Amino acid sequence: MAKRIYAFGGGTAEGSRDMKNELGGKGAGLAEMAAIGLPVPPGFTITTGTCAEWVAAGEKLPRGLDREIRAALGRVERLTGKVFGSRGNPLLLSVRSGARVSMPGMMDTVLNLGLNDEAVEGLAARSGNARFAWDSYRRFCAMFGDVVLGMKPERKEDRDPFAELLEAKKAALGVRHDHELPVEALKALVGEFKEAIRARKGIDLPADPFEQLLLSVGAVFRSWQNDRAIAYRKLNGIPGSWGTAVNVQAMVFGNLGEDSGTGVAFTRNPATGEDEFYGEFLVDAQGEDVVAGVRTPQKVSEMEARWPEIARQLLSVRSTLERHFREMQDIEFTVERGTLYVLQTRTGKRTGLAATRIAVEMAEKRLITREEALLRVEPEALNHLLRPIFDAERKAEAIRGGRLLARGLPAGPGAASGRVVFFAEDAQAWKARGEPVLLARHETSPEDIRGMAAAEGFLTAFGGMTSHAALVARQMGKVAIVGCEALSFDYHARTLTVATATGPRTFAEGDWLSIDGMAGEVIEGRLPTRPSEVVQVLVERSRAPEDAPTYRRFATLLGWADQARRLGVRANADQPDQADASVAFGAEGIGLCRTEHMFFGEGKIGPMREMIVAETEAQRRAALAKLLPLQREDFAGIFRHMAPRPVTVRTLDPPLHEFLPQDEAGVAELARATGQPVARVRERIAELHEANPMLGHRGCRLGISYPEITEMQARAIFEAACDVAAEGLAVRPEVMIPLVGAVAELDHQAATVRRVAEEVFRERGRRVRYLVGTMIEVPRGAVTAGKIAGTAEFFSFGTNDLTQTAFGLSRDDTGPVLAAYLEKEIWPVDPFVSIDREGVGALMELAVRGGRAARPGLKMGICGEHGGDPSSIEFCHQLGLDYVSCSPYRLPIARLAAAQAALREKAAARPAAKAAARRRTPRRPASRRRPRGKARRARR
Ligand code: ADP
Ligand code: MG
Ligand code: MG
């Protein structure tokens, strides 16, 4: 039978940091810290496998576990000199959950376990502090009642039932903070808590400590299955089968008076990444008081003045942990009567801004390698560096105009304006109606997670930089301000009141507010935003790189990525200004220039419409002749801006009626331009109507019906190419024929393109190198790719259409299907976001093999939306494509994702080298080495 319990504390540990799968992140971190000699209260971890056993046995603790727990408790008793269940000298425990990956606040914790009416007296006598003993007891009653007995709020407007009793008590006594309650009040509260449990649940709080312990262990396992844990797992793609571990640990007490306290800290600033110790603590407080925002805490940088010795020790813990884990850590600590304990360490969550800075600075200081730095930044996190900020002038004007309402802690960078709502459900509902919302609450909790995902940003009255709202903001990349104490809420009336310098101001649900997550400022009304520092340097060129430290770190990281990656990156861009932005963000070419977007430009839609409603070839040619010079200018602009890089131009693709006027005025205008009666134009529009345009007269089918359209486009491309080449620039056009399912379609179109190319070259007296290729975007094209490659000089996977046609589901109609399919886990992810490797991916693989067999070295890329999705990019790397093409603003993400794909492949290919690298890190007994199965899984 597998070992179920791993002990830690007293300078050693049975587990290690490599055992996250078995011990969960928290258990592995506690074991590692104990083993390297950090002050960790002793305890033990019950494995995630035991949780799986519990689930398999129909939610029952496995036989024999109670004996194993008793044995492990014996060790904790010896190390602490206290006795579990004793009246005179009771050992109290914390029971905490901890899954493989950190799920902040998702799972529940019970503190001070082991207390009952007798033990509380013993604790009071032994500590000489009755207030402390009863404070601990009331906390235990509330946590046990909540976590184990399920005493939750009944309606969304309600607060937690215990919190309500606590608030009432404070109000009755006229005190503001929990720790100001006198011992008599705490005793009364314990009575009221127990009474509330009896009234709602019909049972008594169990007095037997061991029964409390077993029930709590079961409750932690059950919390793995609660709604909010499930919601979090869904949002983050965590499998339900993993289970959670349980950590049972001796309590240490931060609520023992002025020489005690509790805190949380990051080894670097999690918002900016600055190399400074960053955290908060509360004097005379316990457990989650800091995170829950009971009082707004003090900064650890201010600890020096109060507790110089502890401050020094903490700094040394900080550097020990960073050197040992070679990563920014997020820690929890408690000070009990002047002695420091560390209760948790884990990799700290951070904003994209901070992630980039920390990775680059750690690599520059040689704490980690460049490869590690690249692997540490989530590609999506680079979005944070591109996120808008408020237009400085408009913001200053708003502030001068008295619209600055309040300041709070800047917990999530960026700028957001939205309509304020007070409940997570409302945030979801309003967002679904297309309204941008800000979620404002007293504090947030894990129940709010879905609503938080829907909001542009969050605003809370309580809590610090390590509160739930702040953590989630950093993780989701939302704008957030927390600990904004000027706010108060009336959830029933759905209003928010801000205490401003000029008196209180009240806002109702739906009012516009703006929040600056960099400055921590809450501003009345709606404000326009401006591009980020990176965009100012690269795209607007309104700021010099020397004055842009964020830009410089961004550029350094991406420079390393460019050295590491094998995939090329191109942009999907249709206009010269987009071409500029693409080059600025690192595009090595254009992978998709959609000609149809050009037709909506100045002066073009008119002739385009005339062309479409034309009834004879002669009429059509007349309209096309008007379009030719316009289109030639567009192409020339793009070629000029992209030179000497390749530009892939796709010939006309969408169904024609998409270009036609929908309104009466437009129809009348078109009638005037074509000299046709209005009725006839209307008739012609009706004729062009298609039952299912997505599968209709579009793509190469248009060019086959009306070769003169392809002719005009080819002429525009080659004339532009010759003109720009004549300016001395290198032009590399690649003409791409869409929606090809049979080689004969491509043959037809390619012949037209090549014929026109020769005509133009003759006329202009110069030649330009060019390619003719095709999109692979219908299953038949993928299956017959070998034949198609006989004509095509390149392939570009149009994975939007390929996904639609492979699934037989129109992307525009996925809404209702998608919601149900994701909910019921029929699809693991939205296949329009991330390539469905099993189906669509198999078609791509077939096409790659067929294409390269027929034409070795055939150039291949992807230009669907998936080209900017990190997981799809990794797949394209594995397929051996030459490049991915995505929208300009996703290029940084693509460059980093491509580098990561290459690095992961390299790591997988050299297990021997990897083992050697591991041997260089601190020695560890063989039994603690990472099992081989996991190493293999981790790579996937
Ligand atoms: P979370 O995963 O939400 O951070 P934890 O299990 O870490 O939950 O614990 C919740 C709170 O209880 C934390 O503030 C932690 O520091 C505190 N805590 C946990 N174990 C102990 C202990 N042995 N002694 C004192 N406080 C503890
Ligand atoms: Mg914790
Ligand atoms: Mg397509």
Decide if 678 contacts 594 (C-beta within 8 A). no
- Nearest protein Cα to ligand 1, atom 9: 109
Query: Could you identify the atom of ligand 1 that is nearest to the CA of residue 288?
Result: 14
Say which DSSP state 502 is in.
T
Q: Which residues line ligand 1 (CB under 6 A)?
A: 41, 94, 96, 105, 109, 111, 249-252, 287-288, 332, 334, 343-344
Residue with tokens 């939302």: 478
Query: Could you identify the atom of ligand 1 that is nearest to the CA of residue 96?
Result: 6
User: In angstroms, rounded to a whole number, what is the distance separating the alpha carbons of residues 696 and 438?
Assistant: 42
Decide if 235 contacts 122 (C-beta within 8 A). no
- Nearest protein Cα to ligand 1, atom 18: 287
User: In angstroms, rounded to a whole number, what is the distance separating the alpha carbons of residues 862 and 592?
Assistant: 9
**Which structure tokens are listed for 788?**
């198609």
In this prediction, residue 571 carries a pLDDT of 95
User: In angstroms, rounded to a whole number, what is the distance separating the alpha carbons of residues 534 and 581?
Assistant: 12
In this prediction, residue 596 carries a pLDDT of 79
In this prediction, residue 924 carries a pLDDT of 40
Query: Could you identify the atom of ligand 1 that is nearest to the CA of residue 41?
Result: 23
User: In angstroms, rounded to a whole number, what is the distance separating the alpha carbons of residues 834 and 872?
Assistant: 6
Burial of 805 from C-beta contacts in 10 A (0-12 / 13-18 / 19+): buried
In this prediction, residue 229 carries a pLDDT of 80
**The one-letter amino acid at 593:** C
Query: Could you identify the atom of ligand 1 that is nearest to the CA of residue 93?
Result: 23
Residues involved in catalysis: 468, 863
Which listed ligand is nearest to 698 at the C-alpha?
3
Decide if 736 contacts 650 (C-beta within 8 A). yes
- Nearest protein Cα to ligand 1, atom 20: 94
Query: Could you identify the atom of ligand 1 that is nearest to the CA of residue 253?
Result: 25
Which listed ligand is nearest to 297 at the C-alpha?
1
- Strand bridging mode 495-500 / 487-490: antiparallel
For residue 344, report the distance from its CA to the centre of ligand 2, in Å. 6
User: For residue 111, what are the contacts with CB-CB under 8 A and spacing of at least 6?
Assistant: 92, 94, 136, 139, 140, 143, 251, 286, 287
- Strand bridging mode 12-13 / 5-9: antiparallel
- Nearest protein Cα to ligand 1, atom 8: 109
For residue 696, report the distance from its CA to the centre of ligand 3, in Å. 12
Decide if 41 contacts 34 (C-beta within 8 A). no
In this prediction, residue 757 carries a pLDDT of 98
H-helix or E-strand spanning residue 317: helix 308-325
For residue 626, report the distance from its CA to the centre of ligand 3, in Å. 26
Q: pLDDT by residue (tens digit) across 351-374? A: 888 999 999 999 999 999 999 999
Strands in 495-500's sheet, in edge-to-edge order, are 487-490, 495-500, 503-508
Decide if 119 contacts 135 (C-beta within 8 A). no
Low-confidence ranges of the chain (pLDDT < 50): 919-940
**Which structure tokens are listed for 258?**
């002025």
Residue of 95, 266, 282, 343 to mutate, ligand 1, most atoms within 8 A of C-beta: 343
Which listed ligand is nearest to 740 at the C-alpha?
3
Decide if 353 contacts 271 (C-beta within 8 A). yes
For residue 393, report the distance from its CA to the centre of ligand 2, in Å. 42
Beta strands of 272-408 (E only): which ranges?
A: 278-283, 298-299, 329-336, 339-347, 389-390, 404-407
Query: Could you identify the atom of ligand 1 that is nearest to the CA of residue 106?
Result: 3
User: In angstroms, rounded to a whole number, what is the distance separating the alpha carbons of residues 328 and 350?
Assistant: 9
Residue of 344, 345, 447, 467 to mutate, ligand 1, most atoms within 8 A of C-beta: 344
**The one-letter amino acid at 569:** V
**The one-letter amino acid at 116:** N
Q: pLDDT by residue (tens digit) across 740-795? A: 999 999 999 999 999 999 999 999 999 999 999 999 999 999 999 999 999 999 99
- Nearest protein Cα to ligand 1, atom 24: 251
323 to 12, 102, 265, 421, 713: CA distances (angstroms): 19, 21, 16, 44, 61
In this prediction, residue 923 carries a pLDDT of 39
User: For residue 290, what are the contacts with CB-CB under 8 A and spacing of at least 6?
Assistant: 262, 263, 264, 280, 281, 282, 297, 464, 466
User: In angstroms, rounded to a whole number, what is the distance separating the alpha carbons of residues 539 and 582?
Assistant: 9
3-state secondary structure of 492: coil
Residue of 8, 100, 111 to mutate, ligand 1, most atoms within 8 A of C-beta: 111
User: For residue 65, what are the contacts with CB-CB under 8 A and spacing of at least 6?
Assistant: 4, 46, 50, 217
User: For residue 246, what are the contacts with CB-CB under 8 A and spacing of at least 6?
Assistant: 45, 46, 50, 51, 95, 96, 97, 98, 217, 220, 221
Beta strands of 324-428 (E only): which ranges?
A: 329-336, 339-347, 389-390, 404-407, 409-412, 415-421
- Nearest protein Cα to ligand 1, atom 14: 287
Query: Could you identify the atom of ligand 1 that is nearest to the CA of residue 109?
Result: 6
For residue 566, report the distance from its CA to the centre of ligand 3, in Å. 26
In this prediction, residue 396 carries a pLDDT of 86
Decide if 521 contacts 417 (C-beta within 8 A). no
In this prediction, residue 104 carries a pLDDT of 54
User: In angstroms, rounded to a whole number, what is the distance separating the alpha carbons of residues 439 and 481?
Assistant: 11
For residue 758, report the distance from its CA to the centre of ligand 2, in Å. 71
Each residue of 827-853: b (16+ CB within 10 Å) or e? eeeebbebbbbeebbebbbbbbebbbe
- Nearest protein Cα to ligand 1, atom 22: 251
**The one-letter amino acid at 916:** A
User: In angstroms, rounded to a whole number, what is the distance separating the alpha carbons of residues 45 and 31?
Assistant: 9
**Half-sphere exposure of residue 328: CA atoms within 13 angstroms, side-chain side:** 32
User: In angstroms, rounded to a whole number, what is the distance separating the alpha carbons of residues 534 and 552?
Assistant: 9
User: In angstroms, rounded to a whole number, what is the distance separating the alpha carbons of residues 564 and 551?
Assistant: 20
Nearest residue to 530 (alpha-carbon basis) of 346, 388, 424, 642: 388
For residue 318, report the distance from its CA to the centre of ligand 2, in Å. 17
Angle, in degrees to the nearest 10, between helices 130-143 and 183-201:
20
73 to 210, 252, 507, 582, 876: CA distances (angstroms): 10, 16, 54, 62, 52
- Nearest protein Cα to ligand 1, atom 15: 287
**The one-letter amino acid at 533:** E
In this prediction, residue 937 carries a pLDDT of 34
In this prediction, residue 315 carries a pLDDT of 96
Cis ω before 707 (30° cut-off from 0): no
CA distance between the termini of the chain: 28
3-state secondary structure of 262: strand
In this prediction, residue 657 carries a pLDDT of 83
**The one-letter amino acid at 166:** L
pTM for the model stands at: 0.81
CB within 5 A of ion ligand 3: which residues? 777, 798, 801
Say which DSSP state 888 is in.
G
H-helix or E-strand spanning residue 522: strand 521-524
Say which DSSP state 90 is in.
B
In this prediction, residue 912 carries a pLDDT of 60
User: In angstroms, rounded to a whole number, what is the distance separating the alpha carbons of residues 541 and 358?
Assistant: 26
For residue 821, report the distance from its CA to the centre of ligand 3, in Å. 24
